[in-house]
Chain A
Amino acid sequence: MKGSEAIIKSLKDQGVDIVFGYPGGVLLPLYDALYDSDLEHILVRHEQCAAHAADGYARASGKVGVCIGTSGPGATNLVTGIATAHMDSSPILAIAGQVGTALIGRDAFQEVDTLGLTMPITKHNFQAMQADEIAGMIKSAFYIASTGRQGPVAIDLPKDVQEQEFEYKADFQIDLPGYKPTRKGHPGQIKKASNLILKSKKPVILAGGGVILSESSDELLELSKLIKAPVTTTLMGKGSFPEDDPLSLGMLGMHGRKVANLVVDECDCLIVIGCRFSDRTTGKVDEFASNAKIIHIDVDPAEIGKNVDIDIPIVGDAKIVLTSLIKTIGKLKEGNPGSTKEWADYISDFKINCIPRLSFEDVPLKPQQVIKEIRDSIDYDAIVTTDVGQNQMWMAHYFTSKIPRTFLSSGGLGTMGFGFPAAMGAKVALPENDVVAVCGDGGFLMVCQDLATVREYDIPVVVCVLNNRYLGMVAQWQKLFYDERMSHTHLGEVPDFVKLAEAFGVRGERVEKPGEMKETLQSALKSGEPTLIDVIIDPDEILPMVPPGCGITEIIGEYKVEREVPGEIPYRAPHKEKEGE
Chain B
Amino acid sequence: MDEQRTHVISALVLHKPGVLQRVAGLFTRRGFNIENITVGTSEQENMARMTIISKGDEKVLEQIIKQLNKLIDVVKVRDLDPENTVKRELCLIKIHATSEKKRSEVIQYANIFRGRIIDVGPETLTVEITGSPGKIEALIDLLRVFGIKQIARTGPTAISRGTLD
A residues neighboring B (CB under 8 Å) = 115-116, 119-120, 123-124, 127, 144, 176-179, 300-302, 304-306
Contacts and interface: CB of A to CB of B under 8 A. Distances in A.
Contact of B21 (A119, A124, A305): A119
A300 B25 contact: no
Contact of A123 (B63, B67, B72, B76): B72
Interface string B12-44: 011000100110011001000000000000000
Given A119-B18, A123-B72, A124-B73, 20 more contacts: A116-B21, A120-B25, A120-B29, A124-B72, A127-B18, A144-B72, A176-B72, A177-B14, A178-B14, A178-B71, A178-B73, A178-B74, A178-B76, A179-B72, A301-B69, A302-B66, A302-B69, A304-B66, A305-B63, A306-B63
Interface in B57-84: 59, 62-63, 66-67, 69-76
Contact of A302 (B18, B21, B70): B70
A483 B71 CA distance: 45
A140 to B, nearest CB: 9
Contacts of A301: 66, 69
Contacts of A116: 21
Contact of A178 (B26, B29, B67, B75): B75
Interface of B: 13-14, 18, 21-22, 25-26, 29, 59, 62-63, 66-67, 69-76
Task: Specify which of A177, A300, A305 lies most central, judged by the most chain B CB atoms within 10 Å of its CB.
Answer: A177
B47 to A, nearest CB: 8
13 contacts: A119-B25, A120-B29, A123-B72, A124-B72, A144-B72, A176-B72, A178-B73, A178-B75, A178-B76, A179-B72, A301-B66, A301-B69, A305-B63
Contact of B75 (A124, A177, A302): A177
A535 B26 CA distance: 44
A158 to B, nearest CB: 14
B2 to A, nearest CB: 13
A396 B74 CA distance: 38
Contacts of A176: 72
Task: Specify which of B22, B26, B59, B70 lies most central, judged by the most chain A CB atoms within 10 Å of its CB.
Answer: B70
A302 B67 contact: yes
Given A119-B21, A119-B22, A119-B25, A178 B72 contact: yes
Contacts of B63: 302, 305-306
Nearest to A123: B72
A115 B18 contact: yes
B49 to A, nearest CB: 13
Nearest to B77: A178
A86 B8 CA distance: 30
Contacts of A127: 18
A121 to B, nearest CB: 10
Contacts of B72: 123-124, 144, 176, 178-179
B35 to A, nearest CB: 22
Task: Specify which of B21, B22, B72, B75 lies most central, judged by the most chain A CB atoms within 10 Å of its CB.
Answer: B72
A208 to B, nearest CB: 18
A302 B73 CA distance: 16
Contacts of A300: 70
B96 to A, nearest CB: 39
Task: Specify which of A119, A176, A305 lies most central, judged by the most chain B CB atoms within 10 Å of its CB.
Answer: A119
